[in-house]
Structure 1
Amino acid sequence: MTTEYLTDATALSAQARMQGAGLRRINLKRMIRMRGPLMAFVAVMLIIPLSLAVWFFVPREYEATSAIRFSPSRQVILTNTEGTAVSSDYVTYVETQKELIKGNSVLERVVQQPQIRDLPLIARQRDPRSFLQRRVRAQLTPVTELVQVSFSSSDRNAALLIVRTVVEEYLKQATASEKVTNDQITRQLIEERDTLENKVTDLRNSVDKRRRSIGGLVTNSSEGVDAEMRSIFDNLSKAQADISTAENQAGQLESQVGQLEEIVARSKSAPEQPIYEFGIEESLSTDNAVQVKTQQLASTDARLAELKEKYLEGSPFLTAQIEARNSMEKELARSQGEARARIAQSRLELAKLDLERAKKAVDDAKTRSTNFTALLDTHTQKSLEIMQAMASVKEEEAALEDARTDLRDVQEKIRMLHIESRAPSTINVAEPAQAPEFPDYNRRLKMLALVMMASCGAGATVGLWRELTDQQIRTAQDVGYISDLPLIAMIPRTDSDKLPAKVRASSVMLRHPESISANEYRRVLTRIIYPPEGSAELNTVLITSPMRGDGKTSLACNLAAALAQANRRVLLLDICSRRPSIEQAMGLSAGPGLSEILSGSMEAGQAIRTAGHPNLSVLGPGLGESGVIGQLASRDIVGFLEQAEQMFEHVIIDSPPVLLMADAKLLAPVVDGVIVTVGVGVTTLGMAQRCLNDLQQIGTNIVGVVLNGLRYEPGGYMRDNLDNFYNYAAKGRRHEQPEYVVEASEPPRQDYQEVIIEDDDDSASVLIMDEPSTIRPKRRIY
């Protein structure tokens, strides 16, 4: 055997190894589909008794009601100048009256009434007043002036009596509390009016006196100052501007004087140096002495040029003329130095005069500013006194106006009092106490609705709890939580498939090759014959499962039958010596097998038997239980598998469960591939993950996972898939399940063999075998 036949699903991913059963996410659709019956059962079992309890123990009630009208106009005595909005005052008043209706004072009077005390509903209460306070309701009807007083009870007459008595006692209390005579109100208002009239007179006299004291000094200009004050402001601003201008000019002149003093000193120490500041060099050209000497030097230069043409260089006469010329040039330089000194000194004297004038201008501007500032302060003080007096006058005028307003309000109240004294009461009964003829079932219906919602919530909670605690694999999605291995096939239960009753799962491929279960077995066949790109065909395949009952024996039998039907020579090998089942499933009795071959007591060709179908051979574990167990890790088993590969195209091995026995893990590394069968409702997520991890740790080539025993769930897609599968080839025909019969290649015989076969799911059925027979569906008769 080799291990070169690796597929793309050889090892579990790191993410799959880290995922556990407890990390399964909640799928709402799956939970409703699988836990729906449980949730519905719990909800119904709670709804029925609770609904009966509500119906019998929650009494039907009569609601008695009465309406009281509160008029928004009220008699109010003004004692201050602050008023309150009518709407806000009315709402507060009505809310207060609502609380008074349910207050202790009114209800205590109600309880003291003999007809109320004698009511059975009140007599059996330990604290009748508190009972009424809880049950009596007073509510303001929206967009009206009505307050509705109500009381609910199973006794209609008692409810009417209680509401009528509550309204009567409240009206008595409200009438008694508001009994104030018109004469008393009028007397209080007249006193308030006299006080306000005296106040108005005093304020008017005070205002006139203050105005006379102020006289005509107050002006009404928009700026708040008179023309004289404005003139002072203008002169002060001009004086301050003159100060700024004169100070700037004086500063500039002081700087010029300093510069000119430096120039004068420099001209004395170096008179020949030119001075370009303050235009001294420009003024130098206009000096008379300098002009004369410059002209003389120019004429001398012209004459000397003529002499140089006549006389030779170095002649005494020419030399004397040149010396005279140089002397004249020195005289010109001395004259220029003297002229520079005179001009600089003249500029210095002028600058000093300008500086004196600027300082005098600064002093004059400061004097004017000081005078205007003092004048402004005096005028400002006077203006402040006038404004303060005027402000006090305005305050007294405002107080006078407020007093006049209050006086008008009091006079209006006195007038309205006479009108309201002739108006009807502000509180009256708008609707007398009344109750419907038939009881109200709203309370029962509300309780029933609450019971139904609570029961449905309890059912959903139980379903969620079951979904969280259920660790069994039930769908293909569950397999994806623990592994990234491909899901090769999903085989339905025989009772969920459209198959005859009591059909054996291990014989589906032979007896019902057109069923959807057989089609799923052929999907596994496709994975073996056509592995992924880059992998070789799988010759030896080990079928195993995490636990017993997952359906691995049925998968091995049907997979071998599918390969045989594809004209491939197949050996179906059973290595489970403790619980052999392949021989029974194929209709053979127990006989020599793998243990005899490994022990050398029998050749492989002698132990291998045919299974009643062309190309299909069977080899059991043999008669010795311990012979196979001890040889699974030996070289002999590897040699036998290599020999079997020479004799057959495919070897399908049925092994014990991985988590129960180590047989499968001993043989898994030496086969071409391993297919793990997981039973729905049999294996848990943890078991399946442990199984895959154990196989992966020993370097097993796990081809994929087969999900076996899928059940029909309400709301699932399995029923639709079944209908679509069987209706595909029978479109337009009657939708009835074809019957299957065994048709022999020879004339029918009567020596059929009836064999009881047993799989690892502890169930048994009858398989009719007749070699060499073929199986085909019986034709429908219309």
Structure 2
Amino acid sequence: MDLLLLGKVLWRKAWILIAIPVVAAFAAYLFTMNSELTYKATSQISTGFTINDQVHLTDEKFNLRDADMRFSNLLNQMNSSIATNLLSYKLLLHDLNPLEVPFHRPDPNKFSSNAQEKERVRTILKQRLDSIRPLTSTDVDYPLVKKYLEGYAYGYSNVKDALAIERIKNTDYIQVDFSSDKPNLSAYAANAFTEEFIRYYSTARTSRTGESVDFLKQVVDEKKAERDSKLEMLQMFKSSNNVLDVQGESGAKMAQLSGLESQRDLSRSNINRYELMIQRLTEDIKYASSPVTNGGNQRIFELREKINRLNERYITGGSTNQRLLDSLNILRQQLGEQTDMVNRMGSTLGTGVTVADLKQQLKDAQINLQVERTNLSAIESKIREVQYNISGYASKEARLATIQKEADLALQEYSAAVEKYNEAKNRLAETNTLRVVLAAVPPLNPETSTRVLIIALSGITSFTLCLFVIIGLELIDGSVRTPDKFKSSVGLPLAGSVNRIDNRNFNIRSYFNQQNGNEETEMFKSLLRKLRHEIESLNAKVILFTSPKRKDGKTFLMFSLSYVLSLINKRVLIIDTNFKNNSLSQILGRNQSDLKVLDSKRLKMLTSAEGQTREAQPEFDQESSYDLINPTKYKNIYIVGNSGGGHESPAEILSGRDFSNLISVLADSFDYILLEGAALNDYSDTKELVKYADKVVAVFSAETSIKQLDRESIYYLKSLGKKFGGAILNRVDTKNLKL
């Protein structure tokens, strides 16, 4: 699209681009007239996720990815419904307190209450805040509390919309903003939210971590007692038998006995673990708060089954297969690690396992304990058998080695339990790292009003939309519209343009006789006179008018042009050669019952020299040519009509009739002879009439777009060369002529 043309179009429609944004801005002004001032108070919380000055018992390094995840989890918790509900309860309690000045007062026309109801609501809210448990829709007191929350404008949606929580970028701080219509309310709400959330966060984490610490403390005490017992047994054995050192082994039987005793120790350790696990699961079922993974128990069960199978093969084979013994030791080590992992996971996982899951785990642990006890009985039976067989060997040395091994194992288990216990205590000490670093204070000034921004935005948005709509309509509009666009898209020389007028009840005499007509009328007359000048400049008497499409305005232009030519005493003869649509004949031959038409045939009988008669071809002689002429009610304008509605082409209708002679004869009596051809896109009439004309003038409508058939017709007009007298752009919008 021509940018200059687009700019002119926008300039012409500038009133739209101005009026609509002004109306939109005024509407925004009316809508925001009653908007209230907003006060925003801000408080900040330090999380300790990236910076922590507390003493650590473990060397824990900072991990940026873990810190980001912890921030995301914390923000999700702060934006949860329970945190918002706690704030709603806190605000409502403040307004229901008779010793405090309420921030909100309910509308008495929509809300009714009494002292007993208020006291009931206060009691419910205090209980819920103390226990950190929000109301649910299934609670009996839910409708009553909801009534007061909605009445005092502290409902969930009201508080949630006023609350904004975000992390301050590249810092350890979380910022809490609360916006309301009162500065004191904003400050109180921001501080109340941070206070209640820190309390909720601390309670939740302490509850989960404290249970793990208690359990591990119990395990440490048990392992310490076991260690002391083993060390005391070792000391007593050494003292009573005067054994200072144990060296070597007592053959294959002693090695077998040592392996069996190792299995027995491991089995006892497993039994101890299962007993502790059953005890712990029993407590978990009671309090229903700590999950344990089923996958670990399944893995322990599979390991025990493998150990039992390999142990039977080892004992059956005489307890001499070292490879089987190594495999047994590896599996026992994996069993110990898996058991430790299950215990650790059971002590550190948060709430999420149902009571049914815990009961299933308890059942599995009881089964595993029974299996392990059976296994221990088998091992002890085998040990007794081996001991009987090797009673003659150095039993004291073997016994000392066994007791020493048991003491070492007890010491290792005790050290591992102490390490886990210390780690849990350190985690408990770090449970609540949240603290308020900036308390909210009542803001002195309200927030910058967005009213001006809304008004400006509405004006700018409406202006932009109007601009895009106008440009879009211009881009999708494929019509010719203006002379400049016609020249660029069609490429034919333009003889003139005629603006669009209302041709209903059109009277051309009144148009030219009136003085100081409207702008559209005066421009129409001026453009017709310019077109008359161009026609006179062609120096042609016989002019054929055609158009690519039907209803482009040929008939109207030919009549109007004939009239302006008659005003300068030019004799104009219009020959209506548009046999498909005889509009000219109907307009100019109106009220003529005996209108002579071109497509009537007069036959003249000729006699041959031999006296025989034959039918001659119809032809025009000078006398019959003038008989075809019909005068009109307009001075100096004459017409040769046709009957219309014919399906034959001009070549078929005028076949055998000397139409060229008719034109030549009539040209002597008239200044201009105007012919009309049917639409080029649909008929061949124009191409058949071109040979009779001196010049061809094409009429285009500014309201239509150029299609493929139009381009073929344009190509034909260009092929006429000098015989083409130019194009006339009809029905141009008067406003477009000013662009």
**TM tier relative to shorter chain:** 0.3 to 0.5
* TM-score normalised by L of structure 1: 0.41
The structure with the larger Rg is 1
Higher relative contact order (Cα pairs below 8 Å, separated by 6+ residues): 1
